[in-house]
A and B are shown apart, each in its own frame.
Chain A
């Protein structure tokens, strides 16, 4: 399990997509590949190998011939690489071995298509052209036995559909990864942990908290406590519209976890209504250190850290400050 050899990006993708020997076997079964087919493919092997360059050209000529295909063919370096991969793809297609390694080799092209933004429907159309010209060559090779030739071509077509399956899955997976990353970034932005001064963190919570977000908040706060060696955290919930029992439980868990790490949490911005409804829900807030407004909470935090809070207005010293 502790593989010291560094994984390539396609290997990582294969792992993330769970492209295991089992799942590849399942894919073979889905396209209906049978031992018979392998024999038939072997029979047309030479026909395909003889014209690998030609078939690859059919694919790329189609792409460069249409607007949507030029996202790839306008990039010369990538097209060269893609052509190389397509050639080895064609060779492997008639190679007889369609295991995990074969499926994994299909990923590099998929990633490349995704990178240049080649639409799947365009790829599929180009691949169709390529298959058609293979079909023609196969039919032509044995004019005396057209039914045989047709059956052989249909066997190869199963491999083609196997390939399309892998490529479509990979492109979709990559696209979803981008979405996932964006979602994470948005979530992170909405739960900033701010270091106010040495050992003091401010966690302003804004918006709707669901279970997933609550977890992220807890996670980032706990890591920030360790990274900043924080001793006191002010958690401001002024921006949280409603706190139901579930959210309250999450907040309590966060406070408890912070405490386990040695940091104390001051909760501010809990309105009277919210506090009352929580009490009505039977949630015990007595263990929480709550302070009305953010300013009061910050003052309390600084006191806890041993800083003296000096007010410019002596009359206001120690008295609760107005919000804002």
Chain B
């Protein structure tokens, strides 16, 4: 099941659904890279609220999405990491160095807006 991507202004929002397969994630990465270029998006929000596990592979792929988007001029924010998932991630040794995180979609959008204002102002 592909990850739905929504365009809102200059921001792309990808809402990851529960039982995400590896292929979906890899496809999302390619899809986002393509769309960021096409729409000249300034920001990408990856909403992982529905994910109950973020393992090494998923983290690596999300990181590579963020770096790819960055190279194409968009900032990525990962939103909605659940308390238990965050705990499991740090125990595993995973982090999202250099990638913005926010509590939820609303916060993520606000954060991107603030970044954009900084950049323009």
Establish whether A and B are touching in the complex (CB under 8 Å). Answer: yes
Task: Give the B-binding residues of A (Cβ under 8 A).
Answer: 218-219, 222-223, 225-226, 229-231, 253-254, 256-263
Q: Which of A219, A222, A260, A263 is in CB contact (< 8 Å) with B96?
A: A260
Q: Which of B86, B102, B104 is in CB contact (< 8 Å) with A222?
A: B86
In the bound complex, how far is the Cα of B107 from the Cα of A231, in angstroms?
9
In the bound complex, how far is the Cα of B96 from the Cα of A260, in angstroms?
7
Q: Mark B77-121, 1 if CB is under 8 A from A, else 0.
A: 001011110110111000110000111100110000000000000
Please tell me if the beta carbons of A257 and B87 are within 8 angstroms of each other in the complex.
yes
Given contacts A219-B87, A222-B86, A225-B83, contact A260 B103 (CB under 8 A): no
Q: Which of B48-102 contact A (CB under 8 A)?
A: 79, 81-84, 86-87, 89-91, 95-96, 101-102
Q: How far is the CB of A104 from chain B (nearest CB, A)?
A: 32
In the bound complex, how far is the Cα of B96 from the Cα of A263, in angstroms?
13
Please tell me if the beta carbons of A261 and B90 are within 8 angstroms of each other in the complex.
no
CB-defined contacts of B83 to chain A, threshold 8 Å: 219, 222-223, 225-226, 257, 261
CB-defined contacts of B103 to chain A, threshold 8 Å: 225-226, 229-231, 261-263
Q: Which of A229, A230, A257 is in CB contact (< 8 Å) with B86?
A: A257
Please tell me if the beta carbons of B95 and A262 are within 8 angstroms of each other in the complex.
no
In the bound complex, how far is the Cα of B95 from the Cα of A223, in angstroms?
19
CB-defined contacts of A219 to chain B, threshold 8 Å: 83, 87
In the bound complex, how far is the Cα of B114 from the Cα of A174, in angstroms?
54
Given contacts A225-B103, A231-B103, contact A257 B82 (CB under 8 A): no
